[in-house]
Structure 1
Amino acid sequence: MRSGHLLDPLPPAGPDEALDTLLARGGVRIERIVSFGQSSPEDFWYDQAEDEFVLLVSGSATLRFDDGRDVTLTPGVWVDIPAHCRHRVEATAEGEATVWLAMFWPGGTQATT
């Protein structure tokens, strides 16, 4: 058994986001991502083969989707992103930690509500 705290300790601010894999098992991966004002490079789009569920834990962020939609995330807001849904991180909070909890699994798996 493993355990931890999602918000303590947080990595120091740096030029890149900090990514920690918290769990990887049976095709599922759970990551903690910590941003300090980072965004995706100009003209870069994520186009991943995995489905992704992301929950914003602290800070703020804006995701932009290839179809022109923007989604503003504040603590507690989550987004379910299907595989190959092109998206990018448009902005994250400056001067504070933006903490994401991201879960990935093989693309095309039907989600239930």
Structure 2
Amino acid sequence: MDKPTAPTVGSLLAHTESDFDEEVFDTLLEGGRFRLLRIVSNGQATPEGVWLDQDDDEWVVLIKGAAMLRIDGEAKAHALTPGDWMLLPAHCRHRVEWTAPDQPTVWLALHSDP
């Protein structure tokens, strides 16, 4: 991504129509050691039996909607509503159990080197 030469303006809630089958990943900003993404989910979840295991730290905050995250080895999943955030250290195995099926779920995800 080229560095902008003028201010860039956007909306985290733009283009969140609920008629898409796949999650939408938009890179908002990236630098040498980080990447900031907007993710829009519409009922998507991590496939059964699959765990996400990333090489980088990930900080996520829920902007709109609802979601449930499960951390490998924890008995109880974490319910997230707007304003809730979670820091997932590198190699913290996790999965998205569900996202709201009746409205878009909008996340910000900051990935950084551990």
* TM-score of the aligned structures, taking structure 1 as reference length: 0.89
Alignment identity in percent? 48
The whole-number CA distance in structure 1 between the counterparts of 2:18 and 2:77 is: 28
| Aligned pairs (5 A) from 1:1-113 | 1-68=7-74, 69-107=76-114
The whole-number CA distance in structure 2 between the counterparts of 1:12 and 1:61 is: 15
Q: What secondary structure is seen at the aligned counterpart in 1 of 2:83?
A: coil
The whole-number CA distance in structure 1 between the counterparts of 2:19 and 2:92 is: 29
1:51-106 superposed Cα distances (whole Å, 9 cap, x missing partner)? 00000000000000101241110000000110000000000001200000000001
* TM-score of the aligned structures, taking structure 2 as reference length: 0.89
Change (3 A) 1:11 1:30: farther
Give the aligned length: 107
Change (3 A) 1:20 1:11: farther
Asked whether the 8 Å contact 2:57–2:88 carries over to 1, the reply is yes
Structure 1 segments of 4+ aligned residues over 2 angstroms from their partners: 9-13
Q: CA RMSD in A?
A: 1.1
